[in-house]
Chains A and B, each alone.
Chain A
Amino acid sequence: MDFRLVYILFKKELDEIVRSKYVLFSLLFMPAFFFILSVTSTIAPVLSGTTGEADPLFSSLKFTDNWNELSIQQKFFIISAEMGIMMLLFLPLILPNVIAADTFAGERDRGTAEGIVASPLTESEIYLGKICGALLPSLIPFWLFMGLYAITIDYYSKDVLGFYYYPNIRFVLFFLFLGPLFGFATTNVMVWVSTRTSTSRDAQQLGGLVIMPLIFILFGTFVMAIMLSWKVLLIVILVLIILNYILGKIGMSILDRENWIK
């Protein structure tokens, strides 16, 4: 594996992405939409005082050390903030979809795949360059809006809780590990889908279908994990790393010069 070649391909991918209005728009619009959704669904109800009755669930959770001493409003604020973060975690599951379909199936649509395939790049170099090219541009908006979200929550948490809620361990794990790992997993699946469909539109649609169940499975286990503790999150991360390793290996073996250009 020649990482210089991977980097050259990666750079070309970025150059193409910044010149595609459609991709750029998706990369900005979707995160902005999720951001507004998570902010309005977390802070708004808390600030307007519609906190409702104390749920038995509330007391069984333990997001902070002094959880039992917090008021219902404070507990509600924290739980809402955590839910909002989960909404943002959808981003790395969705955004690579757009780019991966555009780079893999798109290159075949536009006939540019043949040029790459006839160049000295190996299959694994192509694969890695493309994965990075789809993953990084989707993580940047994810990181950006995660940051914005933390700042927004903190702006209010000083008043409501008396301290800055973010960053905490859970946030750091989401930001650095879960988001990127989710992204890597979907990117792999998308690449796999894109090598099997004939147009980038098909790839996006089929990709959406394939990724949906994946999203639900991941989130199912994930929500459970959140309710427990950040230590369990570490286990989830470990499992995701192993899953990603396997997905990556499979993806690399699936990419075939001959099939890609067809």
Chain B
Amino acid sequence: MIIAKDLGKTFLTKQSKVEALKDFTVEIKSGEVVALLGPNGAGKTTTVRLLSTIYRPTTGGAIVGGYDIITNPIDVRRTIGIAPEQPSLYPRLTARRNLQFYGDIYGYDKYKLSGRIEELLELFDLKEVIDRPVSSFSKGMRQKLSIAKALIHNPSILLLDEPWSGLSPHATKELRQLIKQLAEGNRTILISTHNLAQLELIVDRILIISKGSLILDSSPAELRTKFHVNPHLKLKIEGNKELKSIVDDLDYIVNVESLGNGEYELEIKSFENTPDLVKSLVTSSIRIHEVSEINPSLEELYLTLVSE
């Protein structure tokens, strides 16, 4: 559980004063998976660092995993696992030695720890490179190892700061799958990112911050209804059959737009309705060339929100 109240951080440099985070108030329940969304410089890293007691807040405070970040920082650090924006791994040491170092800090006994390391590297598909120095790792491998490092002591709270920065589409997809897996347990996860598309299907809740202020806090579904944004389907069918008459009596179809040449863009209430839609088309003997999900809408919504 994470409770933040009026959490704020101001940096004083010689030339200027930067309010990196202002009055951040939020309550994240145990087991919730939350996206912390915002453009570059919004204050995401500052928030993560405040919650992990790396930074001392200028104003307000927070309780993380039951411990106060100001009066009890060491217990907070024992409770959380963190994968910082820049993977905190020793390039000259092997993957195993890196994890060992952190495992030792959390007081694992030797045998349990080596089991835990193997198990984690298995999960993250890094078992083959376990004894290779991290300097030989690709960016994706480092990112995965960094998350494995954060999980070494099986923390109940996981903080991930931009886990997919600089990853290839393939690595991104793989990592998303992994995070989804981690989210299934009863772990509280806070993921900072500026890329909503990666998270939409994983998270329970979205926090959007911009210029240090929390400007939105809601679930993905709420967000859609609130702003009337529904998922879209792209559909390509045989010839010039008229689609409108068939889908008209399907109540989950919100809007149909013809793009010509048998191509349509359908606004649909949820992707869960896709199988039923396909079934209806098949029953009406319509040959389907292509059905694909397009889901740019939340991302677009987010972009307009933060640019305001």
Contacts and interface: CB of A to CB of B under 8 A. Distances in A.
Interface in A110-140: 110-122
Interface in A6-44: 8, 12, 15-16, 19-20
A112 B92 contact: no
Interface string B251-279: 00000000000000000000000000000
A258 B53 CA distance: 9
Contact of B84 (A5, A15, A16, A111): A111
Contacts of B93: 12, 15-16, 19
Given A15-B97, A16-B90, A119 B54 contact: no
A111 B91 CA distance: 10
Contacts of A115: 82, 84, 88-89, 102, 149
A244 B274 CA distance: 73
A8 B107 CA distance: 10
Interface string A77-119: 0000000000000000000000000000000001111111111
Nearest to B56: A258
The residue among A20, A112, A113 with the most chain B CB atoms within 10 A of its own CB is A112
A257 interface: yes
Contacts of A5: 105
A261 interface: yes
Interface residues of A, number: 24
B87 interface: yes
B160 to A, nearest CB: 12
Instruction: Identify the interface centre among A19, A119, A122: most chain B CB within 10 Å of its CB.
Output: A119
A110 B102 contact: no
A117 B104 contact: no
B166 to A, nearest CB: 13
Nearest to A20: B92
B86 interface: yes
Interface string B190-203: 00000000000000
B52 interface: yes
A124 B102 CA distance: 18
A114 B54 CA distance: 8
Contacts of B86: 111, 114
Q: Is the interface of B mostly helix, strand, loop or mixed?
A: loop
B87 A119 contact: no
A118 B90 contact: no
Contacts of B74: 120, 122
A8 B104 contact: yes
A121 to B, nearest CB: 7
B77 A119 contact: yes
B77 A257 contact: no
A257 B53 CA distance: 9
A117 to B, nearest CB: 5
Contacts of A111: 84, 86-88
Nearest to A117: B54
B54 A257 contact: yes
Interface string A151-193: 0000000000000000000000000000000000000000000
B31 interface: no
Given A16-B93, A112-B90, A115-B149, A8 B54 contact: no
Nearest to A23: B92
Contacts of B91: 110
Nearest to A19: B92
Interface in A190-229: none
Interface string B132-162: 0100000000000000010000000000000
Given A111-B87, A114-B84, A120-B106, A12 B101 contact: yes
A175 to B, nearest CB: 31
Contacts of A114: 54, 84, 86, 88
Among A5, A110, A111, A120, the most chain B Cβ lie within 10 Å of the Cβ of: A120
A113 B85 CA distance: 12
Which of A111, A117, A118 has most B Cβ within 10 Å?
A118
Contacts of A112: 88-90
Contacts of A8: 101, 104-105
Interface in A245-262: 257-258, 261
Contacts of B84: 111, 114-115, 118
A5 B102 CA distance: 10
Nearest to B45: A114
Contacts of B80: 118
Given A114-B54, A115-B89, 11 more contacts: A8-B104, A16-B92, A19-B92, A112-B90, A114-B86, A115-B82, A115-B84, A115-B102, A119-B77, A119-B105, A120-B78
Interface of A: 4-5, 8, 12, 15-16, 19-20, 110-122, 257-258, 261
25 contacts: A4-B107, A8-B101, A8-B104, A15-B97, A16-B92, A110-B90, A110-B91, A111-B86, A112-B89, A114-B84, A114-B86, A114-B88, A115-B82, A115-B88, A118-B52, A118-B54, A118-B82, A118-B88, A119-B106, A120-B74, A120-B77, A120-B106, A122-B74, A257-B53, A258-B56
Closest 7 CB pairs of A and B: A115-B88, A111-B86, A19-B92, A8-B104, A114-B84, A120-B77, A118-B52
